[in-house]
Structure 1
Amino acid sequence: MAISSSTSRTQDLVPLLCLLLMAAAAPQHSCASPPLPVTLPGCPDKCGNISIPYPFGTKEGCFKPDFEVLCNDSFHPPRAFIQMAGAKITVDDTYYKTNEDGMPDNDIGSSEWPIELVDVSVSEGKARVLGAFSYDCKMNDTYHAVRRQEIDLGYWMPFSMSDADDVLMGIGSNVVAKQTSGPQCQSYLLYQLSTRKTDDPVNGSCSGQGCCSANLRSGGMAATEVTIQKNTKDDGGFYGDGVSCSYAMIVDKSWYNFSSPDVDSDAFLRRNAAGVPVVVNFSFGVDGCPNASEPTPDDFACVSNYSTCIERPPVLDNVSIPYFCSCSAGYEGNPYIHGGCQDIDECARPHMYPCYGGKCKNTPGDYECSCPAGTKGNAKQAPCTDLFPLPAKISVVLGLCSWSS
């Protein structure tokens, strides 16, 4: 039987239709995005391995007031230090002897250190610095070396402690850690006379046995001293041979996971001689975010399009309301730079912005994910489902095959 020309043309279109459907279902690949701006044009954006995003900067004209950073290249790799007036770590070294009545402090000396910058998150308005920790180290049967350290971030602007990220922590078998005008915590280990041993602390736990912690006073602080209470008891049964120490600090709570070998040893001191990480907030202004109906202040920090202003609570009893900047939802980059917030290409990041088998299309501040032809559903949330049940599709395929044969 002769096949009509129209039937022949229809048969020729079937493979083409299949190719088009396959192309529509294939994942869409976006071109690589240009690197996001970090700092102002012509300004260094790194110090050694540390990224230095604006408003921080290492050269004149590259930073906002109070955000100057010294890049010290005498270290290898170079290290970054905050240069704001008044920002420092103060160290007081003393000693005492347990066989002296009252155990008086004997001064050794004091010194001041600059605050080292570890990293910066402009999207959160936070930075990590190396902060101070205090310790009481038993050097022999009677002699204790004590170091008290204070971190001072200057006046409350632009830096303050992050009470959401930092905690007061004490480590030792018989230690009380105290924060100036703030909380305290006590760590202890019970000494069993029958075995002449202390209870074993539990790794990872900081509930009072070998390690204690307490939340900081809310509202942030610009300066804080952490002290450690002298060990007034006969500690011969608590310690083994060699140097043993107790510690008190304010520290990023996500950084330290309690390890029992740190109890009453100098291991923690040797590992962290440069300091421990502390999260600080950085902020701007004193009157909060401007209202939409008001003129934008000349010194307003959120200069990029698609940036947003976020107010912080007043710092302690100060009535001024600081703020920080972030890119709006669907955008990323540096809100403190003109043009710094750029659209996120969600289609290039399927692990973060899923599109389950659908066709992904990037849009300003968002993305679309549509199900392929013949399917339905919300492809952002779950794989698309077929419009037609499997038996119906089998019948159609069999019909096409028999018709084209």
Structure 2
Amino acid sequence: MRSLTVTLLLLATAATTPSAAATASIALPGCESKCGGVDVPYPFGTSSGCYRAGFKVTCDRARQPPKLFLGAGGGGGPEVLEVSLRNSTVRVRGAVWSFAAGTTGAATVDVLPAASGLRRRYVLSAARNSLVLVGCGFQAAAAPRGDAAAFGSCAPSCPGAKKRKLRHGPCDGVGCCEAPVPTGLAVTAFDVRFSWLEQNATARPAWVAPGASVLVVEREWWRERENVVPVKLSLLNSGNATGFVIPAVLDWTLNNSSCAAAAKGSDYGCVSKHSECVNSTSSAYGYVCRCNDGYNGNPYVPGGCQGPRMRIAAGVFLAMGVGIGMFVLLLVLAAIFATKRFNIRKARKMREKFFKRNCGLLLRQLVDKDIAERMIFSLEELEKATNKFDEARILGGGGHGTVYKGILSNQRVVAIKVSRLVVQREIDEFINELFGCCLETEVPLLVYEFVPNGTLYAHLHVDNPQKPLTWKDRLRIASEVASSLAYLHAAASTSVVHRDIKTSNILLDDRLTAKVSDFGTSRGIAIDQSGVTTGIQGTFGYLDPEYYYTRRLTDKSDVYSYGVMLVELLTRKKIMYISPEGVGLVAHFVTSLNQGELNEILDEQVIEEGEEEGKQVAEIAAMCLRMKGEDRPTMRNVEMRLQGLLGSEINISEEGKQVAEITTMCLRMKGEDRPTMRNVEMRLQGLLGSEINISVIEEDQVNRLNGLTFQGGNANAGDNYYSRQYSIEEEIIFSASLER
């Protein structure tokens, strides 16, 4: 049956499919159309009369095989790997620029040498190139010649033992990073400003990678081969990488005029019938030619765009073709129907599989039916809420996913996060920050409360804001963020380190109440541990230096990031601010505070509305920015100091002193020295003077309570009930009943 179907398909194709057009010449008559293995289509050419002005190429036949170069040959033009008329691009051999270890400064990266005289004709293709940096412990930024604004920047690092050898894997920031080339960059040469992140370059260990490399490379080619390119770089620089070529892509146009202006001139380039003129989008001026839809060939030569020629079949073959075509059509319709049914069934099974793998069944067992219906959304409902995840609904995105605005069936506005990465640890812990979720996808979709007022970053760093944040608002926001972090660090059953505290991750609702967001990089730490050793994640400028060098993550890492956020609140300066002395924002702030020159860096609004309070907050920020984590305060201490500045009055009565004494006992370092919750309850009940009424609990309820997770297996049931720790699942049960 299968062989018969294939035979019928071949017959139908032979009877009904048009043949390919006769291949037209891509070069002018009498002109060379190939050099080595590279086609040379007009307007390019190797000899006089065979090329358009500015499109001279040179075929070097002294090499074996022959090589094609841009330009007249004496100007040092790059080697041509491919010419595309359809895309109006030229793939050329790129180069690698290397920098010695410990170097800080700037260098010129030039894709087309100045001597070639080709810069006005060709530009870097922003859509097809990337700026790639390979090395360890340095940062580089690229900018057009004479323009101070950087268009691409990244900082590869090799934490820990990875400095010994560049990693053979994706270009993800470890030993290698990638930055885009912007649209409209009408240059082929730019400056690279680089600096080493190692604080003491002369004392750097010998096993740190000795240098760094910068290259402009075709994006698709790089991503297909990035596993092997770092290994080849040293060979390429030394000339030993035989046959290994790093390509870059250049866009070209005919001349510096639009289609409308060029059509009036005598040298109009689109001379073939069935061709059209297209204004270039890759540079400020120029146009290119295209063959019309259904035609292929060279639009720059007469008759270059060729259409299909239908075969003239005999009547019998025509009738046979119609019959076979109808039969094939029925087969195709049946196959489409069967495929659609199969895909629907497959999608349903995949949703059930993901729901089970993402602990959906367990969640349904743990919570009441009403709560489950409120928390668990179907994929169909979220697709409807976001108009099938329409790009117009995108609110923003980050390293871990994209956030969409959604409107539920009850008209509630929510934010829905679609993660890119499948991380099992995050699947197990995502419930910590949910309004609801969808568990029918490979990565759970998270549903958040929608916060309409944007980020704290947008309020601080916008020019001439319509409603600027007052000092009281800033102080309150700082206190609210401190309270949130204090809860994450100490009050939850598992200590959570956010790891990416910054002003762009602080959302403000319609009342300007602060909400900490984006827990994509957060990490849980068990109560009996002070920290964990993990890979470095975070945002440059906010990253705890102790965490960066030791890879030891603690709650004090969040304290440092919070201190940087306080500096932004006080100064309204961005984290990338550089002082006139060439010092970064944090260092300049601490120096100004120590030298008694704080007012020179404080925001004028802070000085006018709360200068004394601002100085006290500045001292808190300086404490948070201490280099050693053990010297920094806890977020609970920061919260208490900020609450005091907000004007909270604490009246300590005799009963308050006793409560404070109980609190001190509960905070003892050793667990064996702390009281049980039964003792705490009895002392507090004594202060209230209330009688304890103990209701009767059914036996099966007692057994269910005793079956939960307890500390100490030998304690009696009553003590267990008051001294146990809640698991994450139990906290879901209790928190789900609270009003949102």
Q: Calculate the TM-score normalised by the size of structure 1.
A: 0.62
Contact 2:77 2:112 in 1 (8 A): no
Alignment correspondent of 2:217: 251
Tell me, yes or no, if the aligned pair for 1:180 and 1:224 is still in contact at 8 Å: no
Q: Which residues of 2 match residues 21-170 of structure 1 at below 5 A?
A: 27-28=14-15, 33-83=21-71, 113-136=76-99, 149-152=109-112, 154=117, 157-170=120-133
Aligned length: 305
2:173 matched residue in structure 1: 208
Partners of 1:313 and 1:74 in 2: how far apart? 38
Partner SS state of residue 309, structure 1: strand
Alpha-carbon offset, residue 375 of structure 1: 3.5
CA contact (8 A) 1:125 1:283 kept: yes
* Secondary structure, aligned partner of 2:186: coil
Deviation at 1:42, TM superposition (A): 0.2
1:1-400 alignment runs, 5 A limit: 27-28=14-15, 33-83=21-71, 113-136=76-99, 149-152=109-112, 154=117, 157-181=120-144, 182-192=150-160, 198=163, 203-225=168-190, 227=192, 229=194, 231=196, 233=201, 234-239=203-208, 245-257=211-223, 258-259=226-227, 262=230, 266-267=234-235, 269=237, 270-271=240-241, 276-290=246-260, 296-313=264-281, 315=283, 318=284, 321-344=285-308, 372=323, 375=326, 379=329, 383=332
**How far 1:264 moved relative to its partner?**
10
Q: Deviations over 1:146-173 (max 9, x none)?
A: 9964223746542111111011110111
Secondary structure at 1:27 match in 2: helix
C-alpha distance 149-383 of structure 1, shift in aligned 2 (>3 A): same
Aligned equivalents of 2:325 and 2:108: distance in 1? 71
Distance 2:254 2:9 in 1: 53
Cα distance in 2 between the residues matched to 1:34 and 1:310: 25
Given residue 136 of structure 2, which amino acid in structure 1 is its aligned partner? S
Listed one character per residue, the Cα deviations across residues 91-149 of structure 1 (whole Å, up to 9, x for unaligned) are: xxxxxxxxxxxxxxxxxxxxxx32211110011111111233211256xxx999x9964
Aligned mates of 1:44, 1:346 — CA distance in 2: 31
Alpha-carbon separation, structure 2, partners of 1:360 and 1:285: 49
Q: Is the partner of 1:375 in helix, strand or coil? A: helix
8 Å contact from structure 1 (residues 130, 278) kept in 2: yes
CA distance in 2, matches of 1:313, 1:124: 12
Q: Is the 8 A contact 1:176 1:184 kept in 2?
A: no
Instruction: Tell me the amino acid that sits aligned with residue 326 of structure 2.
Output: T
Unaligned runs of 5+ in 1: 1-20, 89-112, 348-358, 362-369, 387-405
The Cα of 1:225 is off from its aligned counterpart by: 3.2
Q: Is the 8 A contact 1:210 1:263 kept in 2?
A: no
Whole-angstrom distance in 1 between the partners of 2:188 and 2:229: 31
Contact 1:134-1:227 at 8 Å conserved across structures? no
**Aligned Cα root-mean-square deviation (Å):** 4.3
Aligned equivalents of 1:197, 1:23: Cα separation in 2: 56
Is the partner of 2:111 in helix, strand or coil? strand
Q: Is the 8 A contact 2:20 2:308 kept in 1?
A: no
Tell me: CA distance 1:305–1:224, structure 2 relative to 1, closer, same or farther (3 Å). Answer: same
**How far did residue 325 of structure 1 move?**
0.9
Match of 1:12 in 2: none
Q: Secondary structure at the match of 1:255?
A: helix
Task: Name the amino acid aligned to 2:267.
Answer: D
| Partner Cα distance (1:143, 1:222) in 2 | 26
Unmatched runs of 5 consecutive residues or more in structure 2: 1-7, 145-149, 312-316, 336-740
Cα gap change, 1:360 to 1:44, in 2 (>3 Å): farther
**Contact (CA 8 Å) 1:136, 1:228: kept in 2 or not?**
no
CA distance in 2, matches of 1:264, 1:75: 23
When residues 248 and 51 of structure 1 are mapped into structure 2, their CA distance, relative to the original with a 3 A threshold, is same
Q: Which is richer in strand? A: 1
When residues 323 and 202 of structure 1 are mapped into structure 2, their CA distance, relative to the original with a 3 A threshold, is same
User: What corresponds to 2:409 in structure 1?
Assistant: none
Specify the SS of the correspondent of 2:259.
coil
**C-alpha deviation, 1:279, in angstroms:** 0.6
Q: Are residues 288 and 382 of structure 1, via their aligned partners in 2, closer, same or farther at CA, if it must alter by over 3 Å?
A: farther
Structure with bigger gyration radius: 2
Cα deviation 1:217-267 (Å, max 9, x = unaligned): 220323313536364624435447xxx542101111111242278279724
Helix, strand or coil for the counterpart of 1:278? Answer: strand
Letter of the structure 1 residue corresponding to residue 304 of structure 2: G
Q: What is the TM-score with the length of structure 2 in the denominator?
A: 0.36
In structure 2, the CA distance between the partners of 1:200 and 1:80, relative to structure 1 (3 Å rule), is: closer
Instruction: Say if 2:58 and 2:72, in contact at 8 Å, map to a contact too.
Output: no
In 2, the alpha carbon distance for the partners of 1:280 and 1:22 equals 42
C-alpha distance in structure 2 between counterparts of 1:199 and 1:265, whole Å: 16
Q: Which moved more, 1:330-339 or 1:196-205?
A: 196-205
2:92 counterpart letter in structure 1 = V
In the alignment, is the contact (CA less than 8 A) between 1:283 and 1:323 conserved in 2?
yes
Task: Check whether the contact 1:376–1:384 (CA below 8 A) recurs between aligned residues.
Answer: no
